Amino acid sequence: MHDPIVTMKDVSYAYENKHALNKINFTISQGSFIGLVGPNGGGKTTLIKLLLGILKPQHGSIELFGVPMNKFKHWNKIGFVSQKANAFNLGFPASVQEVVSMGLTAKVGYLKFFTKEHRQKIEKAVAQVGMSEYLHENIGDLSGGQQQRIFIARALVSDPELLILDEPTVGVDAENVKKFYDLLHQLNNDSGITLLLVTHDIGTMTHHATDIVCLNKHLHFHGNPSEFSSLSDKDLSHFYGHPLNLVTHNH
Amino acid sequence: MIANFFEYEFLRNTFYTGLLIGLIAPLLGTFIVVRRLSLIADALSHVTLAGIAFGLLLEKKYILGGVITPFYAGMGFSVIGSVFIERLRSVYKAYQELAIPIILSGGVGLSVIFISLANGFNTDLYNYLFGSVSAVSRSDLYSIIVITVIVITVIFLFYKELFMLSFDEEHAVVSGIHAKRIHFLFIVLTALVIAASIRIVGVLLVSALMTLPVAASIRIAKGFKQTIVLSIIFGEISVIIGLISGYYFEIPPGGTIVVTSILILLLSISIKKLKFNLSRKKAIQ
């Protein structure tokens, strides 16, 4: 068992008295690939915002890499690909290289400039997602799947140990979704990056993830995919708050 | 013709000022356009008009006029207007564009009040509305040089943060960029550039110099830096041709600069279309 890099203890969060998360306890171990599933409004995005420090827990505590969140400084250890990443202004005249460079902006710091070493890192991250030939193309000229790869490169360029992805395959066609999961697999297995992927695609996650976490305001399930697959439809319907049948597939 | 611009001091001041605003207006304009804030320039230019009217009123009616010139009053109002826009955008988070008509109408309303308090103005106001080739004094030129240095320095130092905020504000905030402070700095710079540009292009056309060169370059540029460089080149061409033709035909330069910018824009649209048709033809063959 690897060391936990994220530990949430009794974490609760409410928006104007409406509970989004209630007493959540869970850990993310180094090297794991966690599929975070649950119904809309179940608190998945809230949990991610808490992990990214955008929201502060109203109750309970969070530790990142063994450090209490309020003292955590090494945000470059956490990469993030948002749900809205592929909903950017398509006409924005930014090249792939420029988009990926944004992943280093905070790390480089104010009043400092990109060096040759940073540019090499950018090229390496673009190569890692298999998009080297598009380095100088405008991001808006690429397909949805290619754009998503570029946003992953932007998250990878700062060498994160934990990569959080919030429904990154929304609007991406089936073929590119498969390539996308292959890429995640490679990042997890070959580069050892811990992944937390928010998705509605439970069936696919059971084939790729090492852990499944099911969230609907409470943490209903945290275990391996085979345990999750063996849950009865009645249990799943209870977790989701509505009838649900689990169909697993590989793509 | 061009020789006149170097022979007479007032024309020299205008020419140098034109070159400076041809640089800083499209430079800042690139960030404004990609952030879909083009109308902010219009709102701030109308607030600047209120400041100029206030300055002209002081000049006409009170002794303070010598201290607070219309140029400085316009600049002050523009910066205050930019602060108000930011406040309003945070109050109306779901309707951020509301800040623009509120500030724009406020600027026009105040302008009307100051103009009527002064019982109307002479040709000075006309020059401020449409620009003038003869309205730039040496002290105006010095102020615009200072503004140019400030704008270029700030953009140079905070380029990567401004670029990130323009492309993806959410990601910038998650990464720990101080989005509010940087945006505030940016909007104050915008206010300064508008105040600086008004002497040449005028209140009614200043936003055109910030947006038209960018609209032209965005069609053909690859990457953000190239967009900035092309915008500045188009801005400078517009200013030089606009100033010279404005002087030659005795037309306010605001008009000739904007018409030149539009011609460049049409040309870039045609080039893009031609390129697209050619590549499609190639693909079919």
Q: B168 and A98 in contact by Cβ < 8 A?
A: no
- Say if residues A45 and A198 touch (Cβ distance below 8 Å): yes
- Nearest CB to B174; choose among A80, A97, A101: A80
Q: Report the C-alpha gap between B108 and B103 in whole angstroms.
A: 9
Q: Report the C-alpha gap between A142 and A134 in whole angstroms.
A: 9
- In tens, the pLDDT along A136-191 reads 999 999 988 888 889 999 999 999 999 999 888 776 777 778 888 888 988 999 88
Among A49, A135, A138, which would you mutate to test the B interface (most chain B Cβ atoms within 10 Å of its Cβ)? Answer: A138
The more confident residue out of A236 and A11 is: A11
Q: Residue B201: pLDDT band by 50, 70, 90 thresholds?
A: confident
Q: Report the C-alpha gap between A23 and A219 in whole angstroms.
A: 8
- Of all residues in chain B, the one with the smallest CA distance to A76 is B175
Rounded to an integer, the average pLDDT of B117-140 is 80
For residue A79, the SS3 value is strand
Assigned superfamily of A4-88+160-240 = P-loop containing nucleotide triphosphate hydrolases (3.40.50.300)
- Say if residues A75 and A21 touch (Cβ distance below 8 Å): no
**Interfacial A residues in 138-167 facing B (CB < 8 Å):** 138, 154
Q: Report the C-alpha gap between B8 and B122 in whole angstroms.
A: 24
Predicted pLDDT of residue B18: 93
- Within 8 A by CB and 6+ apart from A174, the residues are A251
Place of tokens 């992953």: A152
Predicted pLDDT of residue A193: 94
Q: Does B173 touch chain A (CB under 8 A)?
A: yes
For chain A, the domains span 4-88+160-240
Q: Report the C-alpha gap between B123 and B143 in whole angstroms.
A: 23
Q: Residue A60: pLDDT band by 50, 70, 90 thresholds?
A: very high
Asked if the model's pLDDT at residue A84 lies above 70, the reply is no
Q: Residue A250: pLDDT band by 50, 70, 90 thresholds?
A: low
Q: Residue A82: pLDDT band by 50, 70, 90 thresholds?
A: confident
Q: Which two tokens stand for residue B184?
A: 């505030």
Q: Report the C-alpha gap between A173 and B141 in whole angstroms.
A: 57
Distances from the Cα of A230 to the Cαs of A219, A225, B158, B178, B182, in angstroms?
18, 9, 54, 47, 52
Q: A102 and B167 in contact by Cβ < 8 A?
A: yes
Among A52, A80, A88, A110, which would you mutate to test the B interface (most chain B Cβ atoms within 10 Å of its Cβ)? Answer: A110
A145 to chain B nearest CA, in Å? 18
- Of all residues in chain B, the one with the smallest CA distance to A112 is B157
Which residues of B fall within a CB distance of 8 Å from A94? 163, 167, 223-224
Q: Report the C-alpha gap between A156 and A187 in whole angstroms.
A: 10
Amino acid at B172: A
Q: A98 and B171 in contact by Cβ < 8 A?
A: no
Report the run of H or E that residue A64 belongs to, with start and end: strand A59-64
Rounded to an integer, the average pLDDT of A235-245 is 71
Q: Residue A19: pLDDT band by 50, 70, 90 thresholds?
A: confident
Q: Residue A44: pLDDT band by 50, 70, 90 thresholds?
A: very high
What domains, with CATH codes, occur in chain B?
Answer: 2-284 (1.10.3470.10)
Q: Report the C-alpha gap between B113 and B128 in whole angstroms.
A: 17
- Of all residues in chain B, the one with the smallest CA distance to A114 is B160
**Interfacial A residues in 191-220 facing B (CB < 8 Å):** none
Q: B170 and A82 in contact by Cβ < 8 A?
A: yes
For residue B273, the SS3 value is helix
Q: What percent of chain B has pLDDT over 70?
A: 97
Q: B176 and A82 in contact by Cβ < 8 A?
A: no
Q: Which two tokens stand for residue A46?
A: 């809230």
Ordered alpha helix ranges (H), A52-115: 96-108
Q: A138 and B157 in contact by Cβ < 8 A?
A: no
> Beta partners for A216?
A218
Q: Does B160 touch chain A (CB under 8 A)?
A: yes
Q: Does B225 touch chain A (CB under 8 A)?
A: yes
Predicted pLDDT of residue B280: 83
- Within 8 A by CB and 6+ apart from A228, the residues are A202, A206, A212, A214, A221
Any long-range contacts for A228-231 (C-beta under 8 Å, 24+ apart)?
A228/A202
Q: Report the C-alpha gap between B220 and B216 in whole angstroms.
A: 7
Rounded to an integer, the average pLDDT of B161-168 is 93
- In tens, the pLDDT along B43-55 reads 999 999 999 999 8
Which stretch, A67-76, B69-78, B259-268, has highest mean pLDDT?
B259-268
Predicted pLDDT of residue B162: 96
Q: Which two tokens stand for residue A69?
A: 């969140």
Predicted pLDDT of residue B152: 97
Q: Report the C-alpha gap between B158 and A98 in whole angstroms.
A: 15
Q: How many Cβ atoms sit within 10 Å of the Cβ of residue A186?
A: 14
Q: Report the C-alpha gap between B82 and B43 in whole angstroms.
A: 9
Rounded to an integer, the average pLDDT of A226-234 is 82
Which residues of A fall within a CB distance of 8 Å from B171? 80, 82, 85, 102, 154
Q: A94 and B223 in contact by Cβ < 8 A?
A: yes
Asked if the model's pLDDT at residue A236 lies above 80, the reply is no
Q: For A28, which DSSP code?
A: E
Q: A93 and B218 in contact by Cβ < 8 A?
A: yes
Q: Residue B283: pLDDT band by 50, 70, 90 thresholds?
A: confident
Q: Half-sphere exposure of residue A169, counting CA atoms within 13 Å on the CB side? A: 21
